[in-house]
């Protein structure tokens, strides 16, 4: 039985690179690709992959929210997150969403096969560089911030924030989320209040910095 892989990243060149590397393994097969979280959710329903290689920073729907949705419907699907982020709080967000592995993009090509086999065996995989930072922070007893920006937001508020950062208008967001424009405006005010942000431009910068979307 081959391990079926779904690649999810908004950069075609990265998907091509991963596909090329995995071609060298007879028991691993890439069965599909997606460039955003919404498409990934649909393809998981259709293709039933064993493992999803999931970028975190993507337009339309980020990898954290996509991971949570996929795991709610398909708890047996393993998800390996790809990210440029080394932040401990960011790492905890994706694992709380249901990921089984976490790779830094700089080293993903070298470690990906190992990570796939780890998660298929029911284990978790964390990039050694990240694991070292986590251990160091524990030894030094560095506290995790209790008021991290993203953790203050509900899932719907995070969706609205991402769509704002993606350049969608209030009407477009309302149509996509199937709510009224007044509801969208209310969510936007709540997000700005919780984050103490005064403008849409600042919201966009925050979303990019926190990895909800890419530039």
Mean pLDDT of 138-164: 71
Residue 27, number of CB atoms within 10 A of its CB: 9
Looking at the structure, tell me whether residues 135 and 169 fall in a common domain.
Answer: no
Residues 24, 116 within the same domain: yes
55 and 9 share one domain: yes
Same domain, 10 and 95: yes
Phi first, then psi: what are they for 210, rounded to 5°?
A: -85, 0
**133, 86 contact by CB (below 8 A):** yes
Q: Are 87 and 161 part of one and the same domain?
A: no
Domain range enclosing 191: 150-209
Confidence (pLDDT) at 148: 59
More confident residue, 22 or 140: 22
pLDDT band at residue 109 under the 50/70/90 scheme: confident
**Does residue 115 lie in a domain region?**
yes
> Looking at the 3D structure of the chain, how many domains does it have?
2
Task: Look at residue 145 and tell me if it is in a domain.
Answer: no
Reply yes or no on whether the pLDDT at 86 is more than 80: no
pLDDT of residue 53: 97
Are residues 167 and 64 part of one domain? no
Q: Are both 7 and 101 inside the same structural domain?
A: yes
pLDDT value for 210: 76
Chain centroid offset of residue 139 CA? 28
The overall longest dimension of the chain from CA atoms, in Å, is 54
Residue 13 lies in a domain: yes
- What pLDDT, in 10s, does the model give residues 158-211? 889 988 888 889 999 999 899 999 999 999 999 999 988 888 888 888 887 777
């Amino acid at each position: 039985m081959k391990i079926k892989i779904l690649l999810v990243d908004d950069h075609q060149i990265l998907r091509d690179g991963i596909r090329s590397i995995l071609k060298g393994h007879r028991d691993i097969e890439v069965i599909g690709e997606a460039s955003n979280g919404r498409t990934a959710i649909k393809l998981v329903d259709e293709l039933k992959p064993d493992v999803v290689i999931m970028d975190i920073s993507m337009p339309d729907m980020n990898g954290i929210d996509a991971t949570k949705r996929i795991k709610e419907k398909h708890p047996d699907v393993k998800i390996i997150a790809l990210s440029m982020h080394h932040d401990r709080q960011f790492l905890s967000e994706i694992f709380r969403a249901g990921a089984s592995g976490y790779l830094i993009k700089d080293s993903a090509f070298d470690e990906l096969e190992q990570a796939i086999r780890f998660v298929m065996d029911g284990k978790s995989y964390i990039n050694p560089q990240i694991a070292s930072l986590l251990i160091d922070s524990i030894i030094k007893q560095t506290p995790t911030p209790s008021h991290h920006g993203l953790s203050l937001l509900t899932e719907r508020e995070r969706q609205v924030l991402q769509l704002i950062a993606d350049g969608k208008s209030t009407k477009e967001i309302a149509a996509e989320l199937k709510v009224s424009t007044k509801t969208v405006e209310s969510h936007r005010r709540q997000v700005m209040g919780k984050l103490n942000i005064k403008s849409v431009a600042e919201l966009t910068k925050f979303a990019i910095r926190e990895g909800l979307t890419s530039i």
